[in-house]
Amino acid sequence: MPKKVLLFVKNTDRALQTASSISEHLIKEGVLVSTFVNVPEEKKRISAEEFDLAVVVGGDGTFLSCARMVAPYGVPIIGVNEGRFGFLTEVDREEAPTIIRMALEGSIKPQERIMLEAQTSSESIGGVVLNDVVLSRTYLSRMLEMDIYVNDEAVTRIYGDGIIVATPTGSTAYALSAGGPIVYPEADVLLIVPICPHTLSNRPVVLPSYSRIKLVNLSTNAYLTLDGQEGTQLKQGEEVEVKAAPFRCLIYSHPNRSFFYILKEKLRWG
């Protein structure tokens, strides 16, 4: 039976041109290709469970959007960089047909990466994320106050600009800017990273992946975001439950580039 590939494309001329070229290569090899642009009306038409592989053509934001759609169905992802940064979209467009073929043939294996599942007590928002769940202040420049629980144990009360609960994949995103550690992407852990805490003792914490985290908002100016793509204002006293999702995101990395190579190339690390 022919393999079925989802091409999920950033809505720019360059990304669409690259996707068209990739599609032509795959169709010549007998692959069934469906192309969708990363806009709300097209995302609604995607039946992710139908595909053997998702190929993202765009940047990290497009990759995160696709991951949240396809990961629950066990569909692996390859990222082709046509964005600005390209930390998750590791593959250059010239190499894309070759690496996609390797994935479809099974000659390379995907990494399994933790995702988070978040839900507010009011059920105003919820879902899965690949990078992070962020509770931050709104336009008012007042500190947030929030309580943090881990496995129902009260851990600390934080005063500051907010809190990030991140995956290892998300450790090189917002959490890194907030002073969190770089974590190897396949590590089986979760991170809690304060944003500009007003207490010197409030430092980032690394937890085992089975931890259940609860954030209790004690302020009137708090905003919750999921992977920077969905968000809602939280009421005072509202809670956010965060835990590892029951599935992993399957990601094909570039076969000739290690995590440390990407750190050096993209973040000038080391």
Task: Looking at 44-152, list the stretches that DSSP marks H as alpha helix, in order from N- to C-terminal side.
Answer: 60-70, 96-105
Superfamily holding 115-246: Probable inorganic polyphosphate/atp-NAD kinase; domain 2 (2.60.200.30)
Known binder of ligand: residue 231?
Answer: no
**60 is known as an active-site residue:** yes
Give just the sign of the alpha carbon dihedral 65, 185, 71, 108.
positive
Residue with the two structure tokens 């992802």? 77
The CATH fold of domain 4-108: Rossmann fold (3.40.50)
Range(s) of the chain covered by CATH 3.40.50.10330: 4-108
Dihedral through CA 66, CA 71, CA 72, CA 75, nearest 10? 100
Residue 76 C-beta-side C-alpha neighbours within 13 Å: 17
Residues of the chain with CATH 2.60.200.30: 115-246
Q: Are 207 and 191 in contact (CB under 8 A)?
A: yes
pLDDT digits (tens, 9 = 90+) for 31-88: 999 999 999 889 889 999 999 999 999 999 999 999 999 999 999 999 999 977 788 9
Phi, psi of 61 (to 5 degrees): -65, -40
64 is in an annotated binding site: no
pTM of the predicted model, to two decimals?
0.95
As a three-state string, the secondary structure of 98-116 is HHHHHHHHCCCCCEEEEEE
What is the per-residue pLDDT across 74-122, written as a single tens digit (0 to 9) for each?
999 999 999 777 889 999 999 999 999 999 999 999 999 999 999 999 9
Residue 219 assigned to a binding site: no
Residue-wise pLDDT tens digits, 251-262: 999 999 999 999
Judge contact between 32 and 3, C-beta under 8 A: yes
Q: What is residue 66's three-state secondary structure?
A: helix
pLDDT surpassing 90 at residue 267: no
Catalytic, out of 13, 52, 60, 188: 60
